[in-house]
Amino acid sequence: MPMMDTPLLRVRALCKDFPYRGFWGQSIRVLDGISMEVHSGEIRAIVGESGSGKTTLARCCLRLIEPSGGTVEFDGQDLALLNPGALRAKRREFQMVFQDPFASLNPAMTVEEILREPLQIHNIGTREFQDRRIRELMNDVSLNESLIKRRPAQLSGGQQQRVGIARGLALRPRLLVADEPVSALDVSVQAQILNLLANLKKRYGLTLILISHSLYAVHYLCTTISVMYQGRIIEEAPAATFFKGPRHPYSRILLDAMPVLDLTKPNPTGTLKTADAPVLRVRQGCAFHPRCPQAFAICRDRVPLPAEINPGERVACFLYG
C-alpha cells in the first residue's frame, strides 16, 4: 500500500535515447537522468525551450513511449512492472492533453463520439450514463451542447482544445498532463483555456503538469517549476521562490525574456538573444556553458549535478557548490 506522503508521480534517473536518422547505430540522448517528484494537488510547470526534452519527459512519464532507462512510479507503483492489461486500467488515472488540438482529435468523429470513446474503451457505464457524462463534460469545459454533433473542423481552435481537455477528463484522472495546451491558440483564447484548467483542477481535485516553452503561459497558475535544458532539469523550485529570483543563469534569462504587462516598466524581451541562440548538444561539461555569461573553467569539463540549496529548491550549477 502506498504511504500517505508517497508522491503521485516519482521519476528516477529517467533516460530516453532516439536513433539518429541516417546514422545507423548512433543515438541522441534526449532525456539524461531526470529525477523529480510530483505530489497530489500540485500544479507543476515544466519549462524549457524547444528541444529541451519536455514533451519526451511527459510521454515517458505516461508510458506513451518507453524510456531507455530509469523508473516511473505512479502512486508508488512502478509502471514498468505492470502487464499490458494492468497498465491499460491504470491509464484511467493519468491522461494527457495534447499541444495541437486539431491534430489530436479524430477528424471523422463528432464531439459526442470523441467524448464517448474513452468511456467505451474502459467499459464505463450504460449508454444513458455515458450520455449524461458527455453533457456534464461539455458543461465542465464550457462547451455549448449545440456543438455536440460537430466535427473538429467545424470548431474554433479554442473549442477544439476544450474538447481535448474534456476527453482528458472523461475518465476522472488523478493526473492531467497538458503539453503546451495554449501554444497553438490565439492570444485572446490562451487565458481562457488556462483559467479553465485552473478551475477544473479544483473541481476534479486534479494534479496538473503543464508543459510550456514560456514562463509567461504558466506563471500565475503553477505551484512548482522545473526548468529543463538539453534533457536535464537544471532548476526546480516552488513558484513563489522562483519568481522572486531564479538561481540558474539559464532560468534568469528565461525570466528576463518573459513579457511584462506593466507598461510603466521596460519590457526586457531584448535579453532573448541568449535564449534564442541555436541549440547544439553539448557533449562535455555543463550543457549551458557555451551560452552562459557566468561560465568558468570547470564548467567546460564537468557536468553540474542537481543540489538542494533550500528545501524544495534544487539547482544544477557550479555557482551553487
Q: Site for ligand SF4 (CB under 6 A): which residue of 170, 289, 306, 314?
A: 289
Q: Which of these ranges, 52-60, 132-140, 189-197, 282-290, lies near ligand SF4 under the rule CB under 6 A?
A: 282-290
Give least dist CB 293 to ligand SF4, A: 8
Residues β-bridged to residue 43:
208
| Distance between CA atoms of residues 194 and 290, nearest Å | 35
Give the residue with the Cβ less far from ligand SF4, 144 or 294: 294
113 by Cβ neighbours in 10 Å (0-12 / 13-18 / 19+) ranks as: middle
Q: Site for ligand SF4 (CB under 6 A): which residue of 53, 101, 158, 304?
A: 304
- Contact predicate 34/57, CB 8 Å: yes
Give least dist CB 235 to ligand SF4, A: 10
Give the x-and-dash track for 220-259 against ligand SF4 (CB under 6 A): ----------------------------xx----------
Q: Site for ligand SF4 (CB under 6 A): which residue of 199, 294, 307, 308?
A: 294
Regarding 286 and contact with ligand SF4 (CB under 6 A), the answer is yes
| Distance between CA atoms of residues 217 and 46, nearest Å | 11
Distance of CA 5 to the CA centre of its chain: 22
Give the residue with the Cβ less far from ligand SF4, 98 or 318: 318
Give least dist CB 242 to ligand SF4, A: 16
| Distance between CA atoms of residues 234 and 177, nearest Å | 20
Site for ligand SF4 in 37-96 (CB under 6 A): none
54-59: long-range contacts, CB 8 A cutoff, minimum separation 24:
54/179, 54/211, 54/212, 54/213, 54/228, 55/99, 55/179, 55/180, 55/211, 56/16, 56/30, 56/31, 57/11, 57/14, 57/31, 57/228, 58/96, 58/177, 58/179, 58/209, 58/211, 59/96
- The x, y and z cell numbers of residue 150, run together, are 460537430
- The x, y and z cell numbers of residue 26, run together, are 548512433
Regarding 299 and contact with ligand SF4 (CB under 6 A), the answer is yes
Give the residue with the Cβ less far from ligand SF4, 55 or 230: 230
Q: Site for ligand SF4 (CB under 6 A): which residue of 82, 147, 275, 295?
A: 295
Give least dist CB 275 to ligand SF4, A: 13
Give the residue with the Cβ less far from ligand SF4, 29 or 289: 289
- Contact predicate 150/111, CB 8 Å: yes
- Contact footprint for ligand SF4 (CB under 6 A): 248-249, 286, 288-289, 292, 294-295, 299, 304, 317-319
